[in-house]
Amino acid sequence: MLGIFGELGSLMSEIKKGVRQGPSYTSFRDTIVEEAGDLLWYFAALSLTLGWPLSRLLSAAFDTTISEEDSFSGVEAHLAKLLSEDQDPWLLAGERAGTLAAHVGADGDRTELFGLAASALRAALVAFRSVDIGLLKPICHNIEKSLSRFPSSRKPLSLYDDRPTPDGKPISRDERIPSFLPVDFREIQVGSKTVVVQSAFTIKIGDPLTDNIGEGDLYRFHDVFHLAYAAVLGWSPVLRALLKCKRKSHPSLDENQDGARAILIEEGISTFVFNHAKPHFFEGVTGVDYRLLSTIKAFVKGYEVEDQPFWAWERAILRGYNMFRELSSRRCGRVTLDMSRRDVFFEPMDQG
């Protein structure tokens, strides 16, 4: 019931923004489709929890017979037949959801509860029709989002370096992200500054890093996030630039996937997540907020990494911060990227 109330409230808020902002609210339709899908998910969850087939609840909402074999596209045809009432459809949906919640709280008769749930769902569907989003789009979006976040199996996608290239030529070994790379992180003093230096097989990588902010926050260890992105996602334009393994033999990939803009996007994601993670840095956390993951997906739209599911981004972030916390505590250590295991691993080491 909290979910039904919450998602209906979110939908009402989006309708309000659409009225207030008009054409300038360019993400209006995408947002209400997502929120509507979430609302339908909670109605389905309510139906399941109370032991009613969703088809029965839909049948009552549409005042017709809908079987479990009916497709959602077929069910959507009934939407046009729903009659609007004199009251504003969104306010009516809110009112009926409130009546349903009050009945649930009173633990009343299940037959009456079923009728109130069907009435609330019916009002929500009429409200959907008022903004012309239908039934199928929200359901399909919700299913896609759910499978991306909570799949039945979590098999990583193939590495981008293993995929067919625009010119049909394979990626050479010199232009691939290394399959195994131990990177040593150490703090050193340079004058009055504390900086982090990185090396692989005793060869320095990149420039010494400071926190680049007035109040220190150990962001100087942030390159560990790029290692985690590379290991879990198989993607890191920043790491390619540091290791000089950009795909220069493939001009399209070099310019569009490994270029300056892609590097800036990855650095932007790193900073964005870091600011969100303060002050706990995901310690004791088993998941990442969906809105954060959704924003990251918007960041990378148009780049090869846009096909990564939510769960993979979540894992890349959590594994990166696991390494970051180790480095922050010890102020040095070895982080190994292992593509065969699609993971990163930490080993303590002497500051030396």
Q: What is the largest CA-CA distance in the chain?
A: 79
Q: What angle do CA 48, 53, 57 make, to 5 degrees?
A: 100
Enclosing domain of residue 284 = 160-347
| Statement to judge: residues 125 and 168 lie in one domain | no
| Statement to judge: residues 178 and 141 lie in one domain | no
CA distance 3 to 11: 12
- pLDDT for 280: 93
- pLDDT for 174: 96
| Statement to judge: residues 133 and 256 lie in one domain | no
Q: Is residue 101 part of a domain?
A: yes
C-beta pairs of 321-326 under 8 Å, 24+ apart in sequence: 321/225, 321/277, 321/281, 321/282, 321/283, 322/282, 322/346, 323/224, 323/227, 323/228, 324/218, 324/221, 324/222, 324/224, 324/225, 324/281, 325/281, 325/282, 325/283
End of a domain among 97, 128, 149?
Answer: 149
Domain count, the chain: 2
| Statement to judge: residues 223 and 290 lie in one domain | yes
| Statement to judge: residues 186 and 295 lie in one domain | yes
Q: Is residue 102 part of a domain?
A: yes
**Cβ contact 352:187 at 8 Å:** no
Q: Is residue 155 part of a domain?
A: no
CA distance 38 to 34: 6
* pTM, two decimal places: 0.90
- pLDDT for 72: 80
End of a domain among 130, 149, 168?
Answer: 149
Q: Is residue 352 part of a domain?
A: no
* Per-position pLDDT tens, the chain of length 352: 889 989 999 999 999 999 999 999 999 999 999 999 999 999 999 999 888 999 999 999 988 888 888 888 888 888 888 777 778 899 999 999 999 888 876 656 788 889 999 999 999 999 998 898 989 999 999 999 999 999 999 999 999 999 999 999 999 999 999 999 999 999 999 988 999 999 999 999 999 999 999 899 999 999 999 999 999 999 999 999 999 999 999 999 999 999 999 999 999 999 999 999 998 999 999 999 999 999 999 999 999 999 999 999 999 999 999 999 999 999 999 999 999 999 999 999 987 6
Q: Is residue 60 part of a domain?
A: yes
Q: Is residue 320 part of a domain?
A: yes
| Statement to judge: residues 36 and 142 lie in one domain | yes
| Statement to judge: residues 144 and 29 lie in one domain | yes
| Statement to judge: residues 177 and 320 lie in one domain | yes
| Statement to judge: residues 144 and 174 lie in one domain | no
CA distance 293 to 307: 13
| Statement to judge: residues 175 and 83 lie in one domain | no
- pLDDT for 105: 64
Q: Is residue 154 part of a domain?
A: no
End of a domain among 149, 182, 200?
Answer: 149
| Statement to judge: residues 329 and 217 lie in one domain | yes
| Statement to judge: residues 145 and 164 lie in one domain | no
